[in-house]
Amino acid sequence: MGDTKSTGEGNSALGKKSFKRSKSHFADRVTADGRDGWPVAAGRYRLVVSRACPWASRAVISRRLLGLEEALPMAVTDPIQDDRSWRFTLDPGGRDPVLGIRYLAEAYEAREPGAPGGVSVPAVVDVASGRLVTNDYQQLTLDLATEWRDLHREGAPDLYPEGLRDEIDEVVEEVYEDVNNGVYRAGFATGQEEYEAAYEGVFRRLELLSGRLAERRYLVGDTITEADIRLFTTLVRFDAVYHGHFKCNRHKLTEDPVLWAYARDLYQTPGFGDTVDFDHIKRHYYQVHEGINPTRIVPLGPDLSGWLTSHGREELGGRPFGDGSPPGPVREGEEVPAAGRP
């Protein structure tokens, strides 16, 4: 989850020999029964995201697949942070039009002055009070799929089906440790051994995932689930930033036939690719991570046109939305600009 300018993504501590992602400091949950003091209510909260951040992108995809756009309005930050982290410079006057703030840090400060852990996205903010509710990126999408069910669109998929939760949890834990967070441990390593261990973990897990997906369309069951969302947000960034910027360069995503076809299948599914902004992704990583890329030069490549090519994964069967249906058109005002699309 995106936080400080030093690392750009994730609540993290960059020590002398290792990169460690810290737990979310604000782990309140928005639930159907309001047991943490934050009941689900249409229009009460604002979801603050960066399209550059893979952790925030999970929430953007889930929100769209479930049809929560009206119930949970969204604010998109500038992909380039300054010393106060995520800012609303994409909005008129440099302020979020609903919260009235220039920096997400103001919502954190309203919740707990001087709170530790950095300013991260995704973040849910209570509109009336202007206070941060949660920045728990691991739990947020699970709650959108379950606790917000009464506000889902008609035909919304079940992204966290009860009968498959143990298997989903097992898969997402492995994906998180070795892939989602593994690329960061490689990219921000400060020692050769640390880097090599993370690098080997990334590609060992990608090889296992490629084998798992060779004869099945989705990671768990025959429909899209939380597991697919979590893997996708790393895969879609792999060639654009992780391969070069984070030195995860054994091979590109496009060089693994199974994972490349799987990623294209998801990208072309409504709710996935239509939330991805490659311009934001590239500018954020290459311009914010000055310790890795001191020149702040943003590469022109890779060629993105391949994301729209045929993938052939339909032959494996599967039902993307189960008994449900795909989401409708992207909400007006939330379209990804042409600069961010293939």
Judge whether 86 is annotated as a binding position. yes
Does residue 53 carry a catalytic annotation?
A: yes
| C-alpha to C-alpha distance for 6 and 29, rounded to whole angstroms | 28
**Catalytic residue selected from 45, 53, 218, 267:** 53
pLDDT of residue 117: 83
- Residue 43 is given by DSSP the state T
Count of positions (residues) in the chain: 342
Domains and CATH numbers, the chain: 12-151 (3.40.30.10), 163-340 (1.20.1050.10)
| C-alpha to C-alpha distance for 342 and 335, rounded to whole angstroms | 14
pLDDT of residue 9: 46
- The radius of gyration computed from the CA coordinates of the chain, to the nearest angstrom, equals 19
pLDDT of residue 21: 59
pLDDT of residue 211: 98
| C-alpha to C-alpha distance for 109 and 288, rounded to whole angstroms | 23
pLDDT of residue 6: 39
pLDDT per residue rounded down to tens, the chain (342 residues): 554 343 444 444 443 446 565 566 899 999 999 999 999 999 999 999 999 999 999 999 999 999 999 999 999 999 999 999 999 999 999 999 999 999 999 999 999 999 888 999 999 999 999 999 999 999 999 999 999 999 999 999 999 999 999 999 999 999 999 999 999 999 999 999 999 999 999 999 999 999 999 999 999 999 999 999 999 999 999 999 999 999 999 999 999 999 999 999 999 999 999 999 999 999 999 999 999 999 999 999 999 999 999 999 999 999 999 999 999 999 999 999 999 999
- Bridge partners, 2 (sequence order): 121
Cβ 340 vs Cβ 276: under 8 Å: yes
Q: Give me the amino acid identity at 64.
A: R
pLDDT of residue 115: 86
pTM (global) more than 0.85:
yes
| C-alpha to C-alpha distance for 252 and 330, rounded to whole angstroms | 30
Closest among 188, 184, 22 to 117, alpha carbons compared:
22
**Catalytic residue selected from 45, 160, 184, 218:** 184
Tokens of 142: 């699970």
